[in-house]
Each structure stands twice: as C-alpha cells, then as structure tokens.
Chains A and B, each alone.
Chain A
Amino acid sequence: MVQQSFEDKILGCVDRGMASLGESATKAILWHIEHNSRLKRKEIPTKPKEFIEALKEMLGPGGVCSRKTDREGSAFSIWNFK
C-alpha cells in the first residue's frame, strides 16, 4: 500500500476546499494563479503563503483558511471558501 505523501494530502485538501467553487471555477482559478503568480498546482504545498495571497486577491475575504487536525493526528490544512 502506497502511503499518500504530505504534499498529496495538502493538494487533496485544496481540492476539497475549492470544490465549493465548482470544477470550472477551480480550473480557471488555478490556471490564472499559475499564469499570473507563477505558482503551479504542485508547488502549493511548499508555497502556501503565495497561494493564500493569490486566492485572497481573487476572492477577497471569501478565501479563508483554517487548520484542523485529522483523526490520525496529522496536522493539515483545510481551505474553506465562502
């Protein structure tokens, strides 16, 4: 069984968080962030601040981040959007 890497978990959280925006908006936002902020999706786990700033610029106060701990005790971030 292949263990999910930390980066994959983060990206999973990002995907779940942005699911509230829908697939089309998510694709468009990530494309926009990649082409304007030069931040690729795979770089998000290593550059969370840049990602948050880019989201805030796009969505305003609607881009809200919070931290939660899962049942396994591993800390990861859930990105909640209005």
Chain B
Amino acid sequence: MLSLEESAKGPHPDWKKASRTTNTGLESFLNQGIRTILIKGEPGTGKTLLGLELLKRHGRGVYLSSRVSEKGIFDQYPELGTLLKEGRVKVAKPQKSAKFEDIRLANAATVMESILESITKLNEPLVILDSWDTVAKELDSVERMKAEKALVTIADARKARIVFISENPELASTDYAVDAVVTLKDEVRDGRRVRRIEWNKLRGSDVPQKSHLFSLFGARFKLFNPVESKLPQGYKPKQFLRIKNSMDSYSTGSKDLDALLGGGMKKGTRILLELGKYLGSDWHLPLTTSIACNFISNGGCNMSIPTSGLTPENIKESRLRHLNAETVESSLRIGHFGETSSSEKCLFQMDPSSPMKSFEQVWNETDKIRTDENGGRRACLMFLGMDKLEAVFRPENLAQLDARGAAMIAHYGDVGIFIAKHSTKRKDSLADVVDTYLKLDEMDGALTICSLKPPSRIYHVEYDHSRGYPDVKMTPVA
C-alpha cells in the first residue's frame, strides 16, 4: 500500500511493469502477468500438445494427467519423455508414496495436494492439469469456484503458472478466474483440415488478431504467426544455393515445394498459381524468386511478365540479389507494357495493341536467352502475370494463344507458370488445362499453399531468409 505522500508522487512503480504488451503468439502465455491459463477444445484438438509446448518453453514444471496412464502419455507424446530425460519436467506423484500413480482415480483434494507439492518443490514451475474437468466435475459449482480461486492465489503467490485443460466449450467459472483463455479448433475449409487457436482472453495484452493458424504435425504444437514477406531490401542477401534438378523434373529450390509437386516441376508442364484475394502484392515474390533462381542456377533461363503490383525492376532486383549480374543479364528477360522507361538489356516492351504480336515478342526474347554460352539450347521457366495480360488484352483474345503456348512449352521441355489473381477471368479455363493448380492464400494472416489439382492438404508457408535468400519452408496444417 502507498502512503498518501507516496501516492501523490505518481503511479505505483509496479504499475509500469504491468503495461500492456502485444500478443506475439505462444510467448504471450509466458508474459509476467500471466499465471493461470485455460486451454479449451474438443477432443483431439491439441490441448495436451499445447500444454507440453508451453512446458517446454517455460523450461520446468509438472504434468498431471487424469486421462491416461504414465506409459500412455509417453507413447502418445514422446516430447514429454524428452523433457523428463532432460530433468526439466516431473510427472506428478499424486499419492503420498514414492511410486508413480496416475491421478485418474484421485479426488480433488489429492490433486491439489500434488499441485501444492510440485509448486513448493520446484522453482516457479509450470503445472499442467490435464484435464481439469475430471477433477472439477466432482465438485459443486461453489466448491469449484473456490478451488479455482485458491489455485489462482497460490500460483500468484508462488510465481508458478498453472495450465487448466478443459473439454468444456461452455463458459465456466474457470474462464473468469484465469488470466488467459484460448480455444483450439479443428475445422474443415474447402474439404481440407484447418487448425485454429482462438484468443478468448489475455490479461494485460492487446490481442490484435482473434485467431491464429497452428499445426500438430510431428506431435508438436506449432503456431503460425502472420506472414513477413521481405522484399530484398529487408535482409542481407547471399548467393542462392541450388537444389539440383532430377532427370524428369526441375527443382523449385525448396525441398518442401518439390515434395508437394511430386518431386519438382515436370518438364514441359504448365502450372496455375492462384494468389488469394487478400494476399499482399508481393507475398508471392519470395516464392517465385526461389523458383527462378534455382532454375537459372541449374542452367536454365527465365522469362517473366510481372503481375500488377510488381515492377520489372522488382523482378530483376530479386534475381540480382542472389545471382551474379552476368548470369542474370544472359538468363533473364522481363516483359512490360510501358511501366518503365528503363532500357536495360533484361527488359523489353511489349506491344499492347495485339496479343499475337506480344506473344511473338515473348518467344523471340525467350529464344535469345534460350541459347547458352556453348550454343546449346536450354529450358525456360516462364512466369506469366495473367492479371496484367487481362488488363491489356481481352480475355477471349488471350485464349486463342493457349494451344500454341502449350505446344511450345511441351516441345522445349519448358515450364509455364500462370499467375492468376482472385479476379482473373481466365482462371477457371486455365485450371482445366494446366497440369498443376496451386493456390497461395492467407489464413489468419499466415501464408498457406495447397494443391487443388491434384488435391493436397493445406501447408503453411514460411520464407526463411537465414541463409541470405528466400528458402521456402512448408509445414502441413495437420
């Protein structure tokens, strides 16, 4: 308590510590102001895995299971075994004997004895009650509220953290007692599984985003933060390290993306890459940069007509960051309709009056870079920004070029990637004729990709720039 004199000087110093922070994912749970957490969700939504992930991040604690045996827990969650071996977690012994007994048959008082024992024996532990329902159901509503209040008080006093896990979706006394409440959801979107964590309550933190995407792939809880699409200026670039092509496929430069495509981009094929409605104009640039740089690094060349929102200079710069200038000059061509007045060698202006003339220009320019330094012919990777082309030409006029373009791509063993946006009129007709249809989209701010043709699950996309170039990493949203 402050005296009157002290109060007159200003806010209590401790209030400064309690300033609001911004929710940055799982780390929010380990903020100073969060002592008690309620994780809700239906069976199988990942509550236990989230609890274990928090336990791992916190570094020390106790796991109390009222649902499965000790063996069952380690069989289902190998991560817990790892934490136990490292000595960073204890499996609670709820009975007073030294031998482990699970608490499936324990009563509320016994469970609370275990908690108290753990909290006082370990320094600021994180205690997971999995699940609180099993214990709370034997208590009437008043007793339950008192028990929760007592646990909250004890956690606060001992600087421990308690995680209540519950399968009850309804609002209960626990929701009001704790500092943070999240609900895990397992949903279906367009026939594909999507996992979401909803932030219902987070004391002392701003929650600008109501939900985040997450995955349980590999029996690990992984939360996906909103995408950070860095243009080349955002990081220190280095030479691109290529992944070699196979006999019948071109690597995209990403092992994960190659796996999604069944080993890479097949020679002579066409791919439709749809960009979701709410994607930023440059969110796909790191992906296409990786594909192009790897293609060129493997001896190929690259023809590009950028989508709207990207300039020819953006495209060239993205390649120059990771390939030497001489290689870029001899291997890259970028078509435009007058967006730039630059007369650089890589850039060429197309004729907006006729799609046929523009088509011929593209193939002529491609021929120029198709011949390598030894006089041999090399494959070409073509990026065609369909929204840009439709803005210049009528969609029906573009359609007449499909067959010819397909034939040339197949003949030379090239790869054609049509980049379509949400409003691209020819999207559906292109989908009918391409070999692969990918969709890059945004969900809860995170970048995702899935194959619509052939169908695949949804993957989270992360652009890892730690090696100095965009390394496309994909994690199944499973």
Q: Which residues of A contact B (CB under 8 A)?
A: 20-25, 27-29, 31-32, 36, 57-62, 82
Residues of A close to B113: CB separation below 8 A: 27-28, 31-32
Over the window 78-122 of chain B, the binary record of Cβ atoms lying under 8 Å from chain A Cβ atoms (1 yes, 0 no) is 000000000000000000000000000001111111011100100
The secondary-structure label for the interface of chain A is helix
Docked-complex contact A23 and B109, CB < 8 angstroms: yes
User: Closest CB-CB distance, B429 to chain A, in whole Å?
Assistant: 67
Known: A32-B116, A36-B120, A58-B116. A24 touches B156 (CB 8 A): no
Which chain A residue shows the least CB distance to B155? A60
Residues of A close to B150: CB separation below 8 A: 21-22, 24-25, 29
Of B111, B117, B144, the most chain A CB neighbours within 10 A belong to B117
Residues of A close to B52: CB separation below 8 A: none
**A82 to B153 alpha-carbon distance, docked (Å):** 8
Of B117, B143, B145, B146, the most chain A CB neighbours within 10 A belong to B146
**A58 to B150 alpha-carbon distance, docked (Å):** 10
Q: What are 30 residue pairs bridging A and B, where the CB atoms are less than 8 Å apart in the complex?
A: A20-B149, A21-B146, A21-B150, A22-B142, A22-B143, A22-B145, A22-B147, A22-B150, A23-B143, A23-B146, A24-B107, A24-B108, A24-B112, A25-B112, A25-B146, A25-B151, A27-B109, A27-B113, A28-B109, A28-B110, A28-B112, A28-B116, A29-B116, A32-B113, A57-B120, A58-B116, A58-B154, A61-B157, A62-B156, A82-B153
Of A24, A29, A31, A32, the most chain B CB neighbours within 10 A belong to A24
**A61 to B1 alpha-carbon distance, docked (Å):** 12
Which chain B residue shows the least CB distance to A21? B150
Give the A-B contact count at a CB cut-off of 8 A.
72
Docked-complex contact B146 and A58, CB < 8 angstroms: no
Docked-complex contact B154 and A59, CB < 8 angstroms: yes
The 4 closest A-B pairs by CB, nearest first: A60-B157, A22-B146, A25-B150, A28-B112
**A75 to B116 alpha-carbon distance, docked (Å):** 32
Interface residues of B in 143-188 (CB under 8 A from A): 143-147, 149-151, 153-154, 156-158
Residues of A close to B145: CB separation below 8 A: 22
Which chain B residue shows the least CB distance to A33? B116
Residues of B close to A82: CB separation below 8 A: 153
The yes or no answer to B216 lying at the interface (CB within 8 A) is no
* Number of residues on chain B facing chain A (CB within 8 A): 26
The yes or no answer to B139 lying at the interface (CB within 8 A) is yes
Docked-complex contact B139 and A24, CB < 8 angstroms: yes
**A28 to B150 alpha-carbon distance, docked (Å):** 11
Docked-complex contact A59 and B143, CB < 8 angstroms: no
Of B150, B156, B157, B158, the most chain A CB neighbours within 10 A belong to B150
Residues of B close to A61: CB separation below 8 A: 157
User: Closest CB-CB distance, B145 to chain A, in whole Å?
Assistant: 8
**A63 to B143 alpha-carbon distance, docked (Å):** 19
User: Closest CB-CB distance, A29 to chain B, in whole Å?
Assistant: 7
User: Closest CB-CB distance, B95 to chain A, in whole Å?
Assistant: 12
User: Closest CB-CB distance, A54 to chain B, in whole Å?
Assistant: 10
**A62 to B110 alpha-carbon distance, docked (Å):** 22
Residues of A close to B110: CB separation below 8 A: 28
**A62 to B146 alpha-carbon distance, docked (Å):** 14
Which chain A residue shows the least CB distance to B148? A22
Residues of B close to A28: CB separation below 8 A: 109-110, 112-113, 115-116
Given contacts A59-B153, A62-B153, 9 further A-B contacts (CB under 8 A): A20-B149, A21-B153, A23-B146, A25-B147, A29-B116, A31-B116, A57-B157, A59-B154, A82-B153
Docked-complex contact B120 and A32, CB < 8 angstroms: yes
Known: A58-B154, A60-B153. A24 touches B120 (CB 8 A): no
User: Closest CB-CB distance, B257 to chain A, in whole Å?
Assistant: 53
**A58 to B143 alpha-carbon distance, docked (Å):** 19
Docked-complex contact B157 and A62, CB < 8 angstroms: yes
Interface residues of B in 373-399 (CB under 8 A from A): none
Which chain A residue shows the least CB distance to B152? A62
Of B107, B113, B117, B142, the most chain A CB neighbours within 10 A belong to B113
